[in-house]
Amino acid sequence: LPGALRGALADTIAAAVTALTPELFAFAQRLVRTPSLPGDEEGAHRIVAAKLQSLGLDTRIISATAEELNTHPAFCDDGIPVERRINVVGRLRGAATRNGARDAARSLILNGHLDVVSPGNEALWDASPWSGIIRDGRLYGRGSCDMKSGLTAGIFAIETLQRLGLALDGDVLLESVSGEESGGVGTLTTIVNGYRASAAIVLEPTSLRLGLVQAGALTFRVRIAGRAVHACMKNQGVSAIEKVCRVIAGLNELERARHVTYSNPLYEDPNNVAPISIGTIHGGAWHSTVPDDVVLEGRFGVLPGESIPAAQQAFADALRRVADDDPWLRDHPPAFEWFEGQFESGQTNADEPVVGALCGAHKAITGATPVLQGVTYGSDLRLFTNHADMPAILYGPGDVLKAHTVNEFIELDEVVQATKVLALMMCGWCGVAERR
């Protein structure tokens, strides 16, 4: 859009969103009050589907077959039957599509997941994790930040355009998906069902920064053998716990070395792009026995642009170097396996037109130049960039530090800002067809 028109439109949109805030807050609150733990997302999806239908979107409830997913290279099985993982896709049909010129205008996917992580020990929460309490401009509850409010912003951005009678040229697809936290089954389902657009915005809590790059993450298990003897004869045995210390030192050295060779200005902390972290250690049988068996589990960060096989090879090489340095480990090398989540990295170029479109809308609404960043966590961005051949951006209200925590909350002002930015961005990106 030309600058002057964008300015006028920004004001119009901002006023319309402000008028809608009571309904916007109530909708986000209703979603938070509807628990949607992995495998149990259906109730929340039904609320979204009804809302999209009421806005006149062509709304479908979709799932994928186990066969479609099992054969897909990006499928991460979280053990929950795929038939239970419904997803909602609502299509706001643009004028160009209605006239049969499907490729004539740019289209956009707004994507958000409805699954939430467990609230953990509910006794630690000030109120129920499903309270949806609004206090001092904040909405509280599991999923308020990650990421039911982001999804709500996307839905109400569409409603705002409709209230203003602004029809778009290109299509907008609102995708409400399951299973993001445990591998991305929902977004993958939309992809195998053929849903595509010129670009995607994944409405994760980024504090309204644009996330263009994400690291990947692999889950590993390492088993180290020792030789058990009575502790009083320690020197006759081999402590698997002491050998584990060598393995951990080797992995820390690998983490350091990988960050020395990798550099990407989008990351705030150059030493924390793709961390390697040990999450569990189990070993030993008795305090006075030299331990002969220890099992480590952890997370191995995949650098942006690095393939999963290359990351796995780096890990295997590091373990071999540790073993080569120790006579016992040389003869009894650590055994390892990859299990559960194996998430690729993903990236979108900063010079993609959709990045400029979103930056322009952000600046017009907030007055500030947006921050571009890389994130260290996994997300559905990678599925769009790697398996749907689409540029994708993480952008949404909420601070990721408030996600997955006790007393999770979101600042509602930021949800309102996001709604305004998304509405304006859709106008610029998809084109405004006519005033109805």
Instruction: Give residues in contact with Zn ion (CB under 5 A).
Output: 146-147, 204
Nearer to Zn ion, 171 or 204 (CB): 204
Residue showing the smallest CB distance to Zn ion in the complex: 146
- Least spacing, CB of residue 189 vs Zn ion, in Å: 17
- Least spacing, CB of residue 335 vs Zn ion, in Å: 34
CA 90, 22, 360, 351 dihedral sign is: negative
Nearer to Zn ion, 243 or 382 (CB): 382
Other C-beta atoms closer than 10 Å to the C-beta of 27 total 21
Contact 308, 342 (CB under 8 A): yes
Distance, CA of 42 to chain centre = 19
The residue type at 125 = W
- Least spacing, CB of residue 203 vs Zn ion, in Å: 9
H or E element that contains 49 = helix 42-54
Contact 331, 398 (CB under 8 A): no
Contact 280, 296 (CB under 8 A): yes
CA 123, 124, 126, 132 dihedral sign is: negative
Task: Please tell me the distance from the alpha carbon of residue 182 to that of residue 37, in angstroms, as a whole number.
Answer: 11
Residue whose pair of structure tokens reads 């067809």 in the numeric block: 433
Task: Please tell me the distance from the alpha carbon of residue 324 to that of residue 165, in angstroms, as a whole number.
Answer: 70
Q: Maximum distance among all alpha carbons in the chain?
A: 88
Contact 161, 429 (CB under 8 A): no
Report DSSP state, residue 147.
I
- Least spacing, CB of residue 115 vs Zn ion, in Å: 8
- Least spacing, CB of residue 275 vs Zn ion, in Å: 18
- Least spacing, CB of residue 86 vs Zn ion, in Å: 18
CA 25, 27, 33, 36 dihedral sign is: negative
Active site residues: 115, 180
Nearer to Zn ion, 142 or 420 (CB): 142
Nearer to Zn ion, 109 or 228 (CB): 109
Nearer to Zn ion, 148 or 258 (CB): 148
- Least spacing, CB of residue 37 vs Zn ion, in Å: 14
Nearer to Zn ion, 184 or 391 (CB): 184
Shortest CA distance to 365 belongs to which of 205, 151, 200, 208? 208
- Least spacing, CB of residue 224 vs Zn ion, in Å: 34
Residues in the chain: 436
Distance, CA of 84 to chain centre = 20
Task: Please tell me the distance from the alpha carbon of residue 144 to that of residue 45, in angstroms, as a whole number.
Answer: 15
Residue 9 has which token pair? 């439109």
Nearer to Zn ion, 204 or 306 (CB): 204
Task: Please tell me the distance from the alpha carbon of residue 224 to that of residue 226, in angstroms, as a whole number.
Answer: 7
User: How would DSSP label each residue in 219-250?
Assistant: EEEEEEE-B--BGGGGGGSB-HHHHHHHHHHH
Phi first, then psi, for residue 347 (nearest 5°) are -155, 150
Nearer to Zn ion, 10 or 147 (CB): 147
Other C-beta atoms closer than 10 Å to the C-beta of 350 total 14
- Least spacing, CB of residue 398 vs Zn ion, in Å: 9
Contact 245, 224 (CB under 8 A): no
Nearer to Zn ion, 40 or 242 (CB): 40
